[in-house]
Structure 1
């Protein structure tokens, strides 16, 4: 079985003899041709997602899923896969030329999300196109969120279901971002900022950009800000880091928002403060592999600090 992750952040699997043997086993006792084909495709879809999640380091439990229960698959159109400690994910098959992912009503509840798995015409290959959290009859394929966002979503679910672990993982391993391992809670900036802000602030080409909503309380009159961090490799063992603070839902920052960078000893090394009508503030610096630093965003008596390691 060959696996590959394409540049579009989809995930393709060559469907082996084993995959088809499992699908055949699940569907063989079903008399209706249409229902038998449905179970066959559902089983292949679950097989693909199970393979993908295990490759990504998530622990799955197909045996405890409804899609493994022979009575359930006869009575319902179900293709769920249980992710340990997170919940059930629905793996929906998509035919080769389809433009929508169909989600049957019986799986509109008790699901943490829906993955679209598209097959080629020979059923020799399947590709996970993306995911949605919307429980509705049809989701157009262009509406799907990327697999990159899906992994971030699962990481956020892990944090939400294990709040006691949040403090221990508070150190952001920013050096791993370039390898595709982005810490939970750091979103694609398109989810935080409007298109006008992106056009103004992100003209430089960077390797990876992520952001996080920062709430500084009533000092900002209920206006949240986005802490945005960009990272790019400069040379072996050294990276360029650009950090910015943007308003969320407003065009400008209030005067007096402070952005500070401190080294691992706690000494402030860079600082900038917003002026009246500033659209954003930013600081740029370089850091070496293994180096730690802190980013602090403050306004009045409120402040938040994030710790990073390259």
Structure 2
């Protein structure tokens, strides 16, 4: 084969049990063509699952859409869930094929695509290669990357999965981390534009400051009006219209093009309703005492953008009884080549957090480094 060297291709025997499972799934299909599709898809998924198990990469075989009767009936799907990482699509080809078909229904919500060659007797599967993203319904085998890229991806924090509510266990919500008695986050009173966000009425005052001359009115849909035709902002904040208030903020967050305004709205919504789906892709990792004895936590939050890119917010907070970050502590964002594109340092007795903001595209990799006194901790991400 000219597209990848033989040393890069992994051969996995297909057992009788694998073929029996594939046959069982295929027999429930309405046409011969659909039955063949399901049969090969099921074999490909089992081959990849065997390979990843050999590498001690945890998977959840039966959590895939292709393991659900309705999932395989209504879609051409061959997904394998990597625990805490996301869905990997396992696409089958036959011996001699030079291209692989990628149906449009699996272009989204995937951490990548792995191609498996099934031989004529269906007794052997060869894992040919991997690609992290697709934009067309057909890929040439020459485009595939080494399987080492897949292994690297399995160890990256997959931020795209955060938008689907999928997180690894070491990344926690602020509430989860704060509820651990020994890991209290040190927060000052939340203030945005001079207002303490201690009740919904004050929160809405901040929203009105963001939109001079009530320009927010034209951005709200009719369902966020009250029965008299007035906007939420005119109403007295009460349990009856609280959902309208948070709904209005969430709608503005999703439709406002200005990045600073969007993050301010996110901050307000975090305070009013931390688990609102519009801003739920926010997690922290406890860096503990690994940073020269300084207890801090790294927060990462992402917001989906209308142009299919994402906005990223990085923050470092002090933990325990420390009201401020240690002076000189640095937070930096680096590209996949290790080049710094953003950095900020904590000042003495002044910063209860430091942060960086930037935008990134799906498939883009970056690194986050937290450091002080030549000691650093680094986390690796992919959008």
TM-score (norm 1): 0.52
Task: Please give the secondary structure, in 2, of the residue aligned with 1:25.
Answer: helix
Native 8 Å contact 1:9 1:148 kept in 2: no
RMSD of the TM alignment (CA)? 3.3
TM-score (norm 2): 0.43
- C-alpha distance 215-95 of structure 1, shift in aligned 2 (>3 A): same
Is 2:98 the partner of 1:123?
A: no
The C-alpha deviation readout for 1:90-111, integer Å capped at 9, x for no partner, is 1100111111111001111111
Partner of 1:233: none
Query: How far apart, CA to CA, are the structure 2 residues paired with 1:166 and 1:144?
Result: 36
Q: How does 1:1-310 map to 2 (within 5 A)?
A: 8-135=7-134, 136-157=136-157, 162=170, 213-215=338-340
Runs of 4+ in 1 over 4 A off after TM superposition: 158-168, 302-307
Query: How far apart, CA to CA, are the structure 2 residues paired with 1:102 and 1:146?
Result: 19
Native 8 Å contact 1:100 1:140 kept in 2: yes
- C-alpha distance 25-214 of structure 1, shift in aligned 2 (>3 A): same
Alpha-carbon distance, 1:68 to partner: 0.4
Task: Please give the secondary structure, in 1, of the residue aligned with 2:114.
Answer: strand
Structure 2 unpaired stretches of 5+:
172-283, 292-335, 344-371, 378-383
- C-alpha distance 100-71 of structure 1, shift in aligned 2 (>3 A): same
Task: Please give the secondary structure, in 2, of the residue aligned with 1:8.
Answer: helix
Alpha-carbon distance, 1:56 to partner: 1.3
Larger gyration radius, structure 1 or structure 2:
2
Larger mean Cα displacement after TM superposition, 75-84 or 7-16: 7-16
Partner of 1:292: none
Native 8 Å contact 2:86 2:158 kept in 1: no
Query: How far apart, CA to CA, are the structure 2 residues paired with 1:149 and 1:128?
Result: 13
Query: How far apart, CA to CA, are the structure 1 residues paired with 2:50 and 2:64?
Result: 15
Native 8 Å contact 2:26 2:35 kept in 1: yes
Structure 1 unpaired stretches of 5+:
1-5, 172-210, 219-301
Query: How far apart, CA to CA, are the structure 2 residues paired with 1:20 and 1:141?
Result: 25
Native 8 Å contact 1:89 1:115 kept in 2: yes
- C-alpha distance 305-72 of structure 1, shift in aligned 2 (>3 A): same
The C-alpha deviation readout for 1:198-245, integer Å capped at 9, x for no partner, is xxxxxxxxxxxxx95142868xxxxxxxxxxxxxxxxxxxxxxxxxxx
The C-alpha deviation readout for 1:99-157, integer Å capped at 9, x for no partner, is 11110011111111111011122211111111112222111111011101110111123
- C-alpha distance 166-154 of structure 1, shift in aligned 2 (>3 A): farther
Native 8 Å contact 1:214 1:304 kept in 2: no
Task: Please give the secondary structure, in 1, of the residue aligned with 2:77.
Answer: coil
The C-alpha deviation readout for 1:241-271, integer Å capped at 9, x for no partner, is xxxxxxxxxxxxxxxxxxxxxxxxxxxxxxx
- C-alpha distance 158-104 of structure 1, shift in aligned 2 (>3 A): closer
Counting matched residue pairs gives 183
Query: How far apart, CA to CA, are the structure 1 residues paired with 2:77 and 2:104?
Result: 10
- C-alpha distance 106-214 of structure 1, shift in aligned 2 (>3 A): same
Query: How far apart, CA to CA, are the structure 2 residues paired with 1:110 and 1:31?
Result: 27
Alpha-carbon distance, 1:8 to partner: 2.2
Native 8 Å contact 1:216 1:304 kept in 2: no
Native 8 Å contact 2:111 2:132 kept in 1: yes
Native 8 Å contact 2:111 2:158 kept in 1: no
Query: How far apart, CA to CA, are the structure 2 residues paired with 1:40 and 1:58?
Result: 24
Query: How far apart, CA to CA, are the structure 1 residues paired with 2:39 and 2:80?
Result: 15
The C-alpha deviation readout for 1:262-288, integer Å capped at 9, x for no partner, is xxxxxxxxxxxxxxxxxxxxxxxxxxx
